[in-house]
Chain A
């Protein structure tokens, strides 16, 4: 039954993962020695802003960040994901390759002004750690929702059919046959994803934006209305709550409409973030339900490899997508990207900093920013960053990081599968959770080191898989035996 729905939902998954974008970093020194390091990938053109980065400063940032284990300031720009989403019409596929793209260098223009940078670097470092946490929190929330649902609502952990993209059953007699079937399922799934990605690149290349938008909206509709209705129904069944249809209709209608508005148009940032997390969780739950066990693990592994290939190879579809998006200087479709925008103001004199959350990126800067005068003599115009003469202040504005929904989905699939199938063991779930977070941290660190587009899935999924299997087979017997005797290590 759900097979058909997957088709449409598939587009959602295509927002793949990983694109971690730091939309904009702008540092402006007032008044003299204007130095701005910024990159804007968004619609407005800040003529007066120089996006520049000093080479040596980059190096400093780079080494600093590398040793400090924080992601660097440089912009991660990645265009993968949402484009893919559209075309994946009926394809239940997910855009896997998460890609953390740091292409600021290519992006921005010239004017390099040398700066005394230790301050900037230290701020960069602080921002780097802050960005890691800004990603930790939503990923953790999504995983918590998925694990809580899996552990309480039995619907999502019972097997009830398979999708057409994994036609081979795993109810076979021999281990070899089962393995073969899962590998075949994976091959089919991955090839569907590859085809869809290429289709997406072509669509994007030939500017079929309306088509893409249409698909996005359709898939969001399916997720926000149909799947949340199913989810609500199952939760009610689990807790034996009596409910009537008009109430449910009202709830789902409100939930869905507000979600559509928040995601596709405007809305409070946190509400949009919450909705994106919820739809990622819903998607992950559906995957957990309909992917057979061995196929799920093989698919997770294969997706990571595909991600690696697609992002790093010169002719990889994702890389081409990113380059196209950069050439056109367009933002990726925001409906499928989780964004956590933030604006920092730093006064050089007293280094007071404040953070204001801004709205979604598609809004223009002026709207999005809340101005907070620094020392009362600085009025900020985000687009143009006017400087007040005489006030030696450092203004820093930074947009938050962005992460494609596909990443959320696949991390949650891994942790959810661990929760569902690891013989009721919570240690496995916990181990996978920590492994994924560390993988994310390492990926951001690598990004700071290499400063180019990197896939974000492989490290986390690899760690997650290693920890899942080793915890389930090695650690679990050990800990169970220890608990039996009440020994502590």
Chain B
């Protein structure tokens, strides 16, 4: 409960996202716009799902703890589904924009590719999701207080930060995979993404038994990262090429 905790948790939660932003997005204005629009779409989905949950909560008995918990779980699931729906809507919007960009340019290539848009959109989702989950907690970590004073876990801030980082990265990878699935019309990919999102959110219901939620979330994150990398055309060879800075005839388009 000090400044140290605040900075530590901030960097854990937002370090990767911030680095990704600074190194890949900040230079290009188009990507910044796509990022912020992605954040906006996530916000819209959250708004609608909060509305549904709020109505359900107000219409039900406030005293019944089990019912409220059930409603909350329903709210979470509904929110996840709505997020994916809005991701699809954003994909459609970006596709339309892309057509315009292609029509504009002289050599029929757009200044930004679908994979890049997918990555940026996913990162926008991730940053907004992480920010909404974590900012209030970070603000509280600065002030005076005792963690888990009623017997809850002592590691609340730390686990929140780690979970936020996982969610941010997951959203980025899911964005890449989702758009890729939409592009290639592989609906099973989209279904897998949605199911995994539901799974990760569902795992957090096990909190504060953090063994049940954090390690699986990280395993899934790494798996998604590898899958996203492979699906955007990366391979071991392209990694080797980029590390040794050698040119290769193979298409070395790196995904994220």
Contacts and interface: CB of A to CB of B under 8 A. Distances in A.
A488 B139 contact: no
B156 interface: yes
Interface in B146-175: 156, 159-160, 163-164, 167
A136 B32 contact: yes
A427 B36 CA distance: 15
Contacts of A306: none
Contact of B111 (A122, A441, A489): A122
A126 B111 contact: yes
A435 B137 CA distance: 22
B202 to A, nearest CB: 9
A60 B205 CA distance: 52
A424 B143 CA distance: 12
Interface string B171-213: 0000000000000000000000000000011001101100000
B46 A475 contact: yes
Interface string B29-40: 110110011011
Interface in B63-96: 69, 72-73, 75-76, 79-80, 83, 96
A483 B69 CA distance: 13
Interface stretch (B124-132, B226-234, B247-255): B124-132
Given A430-B131, A485-B72, A68 B201 contact: no
Contacts, number: 147
B72 A483 contact: no
B107 to A, nearest CB: 8
B50 interface: yes
Interface stretch (B2-10, B16-24, B98-106, B237-245): B98-106
Contacts of B51: 470, 474
Contact of A489 (B43, B76, B105, B207): B76
Contacts of B160: 483, 486
A65 B57 CA distance: 44
Interface size band for B: 35 or more
B133 A70 contact: no
Interface in A434-471: 434-435, 437-438, 441, 467, 470-471
B43 A434 contact: yes
B47 interface: yes
A60 B135 contact: no
A133 B106 contact: no
A132 interface: yes
Given A426-B139, A478-B53, A438 B83 contact: no
Nearest to B57: A477
A133 B33 contact: yes
A475 to B, nearest CB: 4
B87 to A, nearest CB: 13
B201 A487 contact: yes
B187 to A, nearest CB: 23
A479 B136 contact: yes
Contacts of B69: 485
Contacts of B128: 434
A431 interface: yes
B135 A427 contact: yes
A66 interface: yes
B47 A471 contact: yes
B1 interface: no
Contacts of B96: 67
B77 to A, nearest CB: 9
Given A67-B97, A68-B104, A426 B79 contact: no
Nearest to A476: B50
Contact of A438 (B29, B37, B105): B37
Contacts of A471: 47
B156 A486 contact: yes
A126 B106 CA distance: 13
B36 A438 contact: yes
Interface string B111-144: 1000000000000000011011101110100000
Contacts of B79: 489
A488 B204 contact: yes
Contacts of B204: 486-488
Q: Which of A130, A471, A489 has the most chain B CB within a 10 Å cutoff?
A: A489
B94 to A, nearest CB: 9
A118 interface: yes
A129 B167 CA distance: 29
Given A69-B100, A118-B106, A474-B51, 11 more contacts: A68-B101, A121-B104, A125-B101, A125-B104, A426-B136, A426-B139, A427-B132, A438-B40, A467-B43, A470-B47, A478-B75
Interface of A: 60, 63-70, 118-119, 121-122, 125-126, 129-130, 132-133, 136, 424-427, 430-431, 434-435, 437-438, 441, 467, 470-471, 473-475, 477-483, 485-489
12 contacts: A63-B103, A67-B103, A68-B97, A122-B104, A470-B50, A474-B54, A485-B205, A486-B207, A487-B76, A488-B164, A488-B200, A489-B133
Interface of B: 29-30, 32-33, 36-37, 39-40, 43, 46-47, 49-51, 53-54, 57, 69, 72-73, 75-76, 79-80, 83, 96-97, 99-101, 103-106, 111, 128-129, 131-133, 135-137, 139, 156, 159-160, 163-164, 167, 200-201, 204-205, 207-208
| CB-based closest 7 A-B pairs | A67-B100, A118-B106, A64-B104, A486-B207, A129-B29, A133-B29, A478-B50
